[in-house]
Structure 1
């Protein structure tokens, strides 16, 4: 008969293999294992060590134990409509998956005239001044995402002084005390030509990309952020959250 910690670790690994738990997801903590399986703290600790020793997860001190990205191509799964996924931010998500993030800033400037965009059939506007941040996002030195954000400096004064490596979403909530009421996102597919000045991926042939447009709204309906980003089509999969943490005003 298998020891209890092996039986429990096998069941969690099975969830990872099946995709029920995806890279970056947090697995149950020692206390949660003790409560859910009615086991001792020693057995719970052995369970986590067993899963980690097999290379499925990684412990991050003070944060928890997260599922690692074990795909040879570092294909990433990202969830649309998930407040939790958005809150983590690019860097934190990659670190949780055992990947090393790197950012290269192409442009960081203040636009006094503001910006507008069409998101999910709605025309959204951020009045100036607006912070524009255009950066390239890498995982293990491979360019994964070409990201442009426009952030309201009226709602988030002096956010331009913060590092671009932060989770902006957390900054909205924690530093500016903004309540996020809605996130609207559209995802489409396109082809970037190899010689296009918009193609920063360094490919010698045309490349398939996902194009994500999104807007983050405060509880008073004002737009905090607009994002327009390219994701490498061969490096990403997108999932849809059917149970977002906040009630959205439209489908994501």
Structure 2
């Protein structure tokens, strides 16, 4: 005999998979389902935990649980930006700056950007959201000596690509990308609102401006339950 929570879990999962509950919509409150199925709220909570661990729903404190967006494909090339992918699919994109501070380049970052250790950088941690759902957590190290007031300008425009153009640095192009997968840290799990036992895609990349200088390097942790990566061959 199947446990009561599993019966609730299967019913909600089926409703999501057949499209009765659409991405971004709120799933019924625990009280409503406990009444509908004649079970305790703890039983419903157990079913929702299993759905969350599968990446089918996400719980937001004080607001309830929502059906997750799934299956967005990010086609990566030299100039592609994930926010454009969201916008093209009718998902309202936004960037939230988690923290921003000037730091000296350590040896690892200095080597990546071809700088001397101690070179001034702006380290910016941001979340990229679609319809208020966090998709990507990025930590970027950007040369702080090439743009006056870089921190302020990033907060105003949310786009390093636009800043580079306005400052006469030209087009910012991605010149290297490496991808790995691992379990998220506790902080990544909390910020991305993803299960701690579901892998994230970790993407390391560098960006170069028209004069050949590397402007930034970044590490992005992507919710693998929401994003698929596609790499296009040059010249296609």
Query: Do these two structures clear the TM 0.5 threshold for a shared fold by scoring above it?
Result: yes
In structure 2, the residue matched to 1:239 is 230
Pair 1:98 & 2:94 matched: no
Q: What does the per-residue CA deviation read over 1:129-164, in whole Å, with 9 as the maximum and x for residues that have no partner?
A: 211110122111211111111111122222211144
Judge which range, 182-191 or 92-101, deviates more. Answer: 92-101
Pair 1:197 & 2:187 matched: yes
| Alpha-carbon distance change, 166 to 244 in structure 1, aligned in 2, over 3 angstroms | farther
Picking from 99, 105, 110, the partner of 1:107 is 99
In structure 2, the residue matched to 1:80 is 76
In 2, distance between residues paired with 1:117 and 1:212?
16
In 1, distance between residues paired with 2:149 and 2:76?
28
Pair 1:132 & 2:123 matched: yes
Alpha-carbon deviation of 1:115?
4.4
Q: What does the per-residue CA deviation read over 1:98-141, in whole Å, with 9 as the maximum and x for residues that have no partner?
A: 11123332111111x224547xxx84345522111101221112
Query: Secondary structure of the equivalent of 2:183?
Result: strand
* 1:181-220 matches, cutoff 5 A: 183-192=175-184, 196-199=186-189, 200-220=191-211
Alpha-carbon deviation of 1:231?
0.4
TM-score by length of 2: 0.60
* 1:1-252 matches, cutoff 5 A: 73-83=69-79, 85-86=80-81, 90-111=82-103, 113-115=104-106, 117=108, 123-126=112-115, 128-164=119-155, 165-178=157-170, 180=172, 183-192=175-184, 196-199=186-189, 200-243=191-234
In structure 1, the residue matched to 2:43 is none
TM-score by length of 1: 0.56
Query: Secondary structure of the equivalent of 1:95?
Result: helix
Alpha-carbon deviation of 1:240?
1.0
| Alpha-carbon distance change, 205 to 79 in structure 1, aligned in 2, over 3 angstroms | same
| Alpha-carbon distance change, 170 to 213 in structure 1, aligned in 2, over 3 angstroms | same
| Alpha-carbon distance change, 124 to 233 in structure 1, aligned in 2, over 3 angstroms | same
Contact 2:179 2:203 in 1 (8 A): yes
Higher helix share: 2
Give the count of matched residue pairs.
165
RMSD: 2.9
Alpha-carbon deviation of 1:224?
0.3
Gaps of 5+ in 1: 1-71, 246-252
Query: Secondary structure of the equivalent of 1:110?
Result: strand
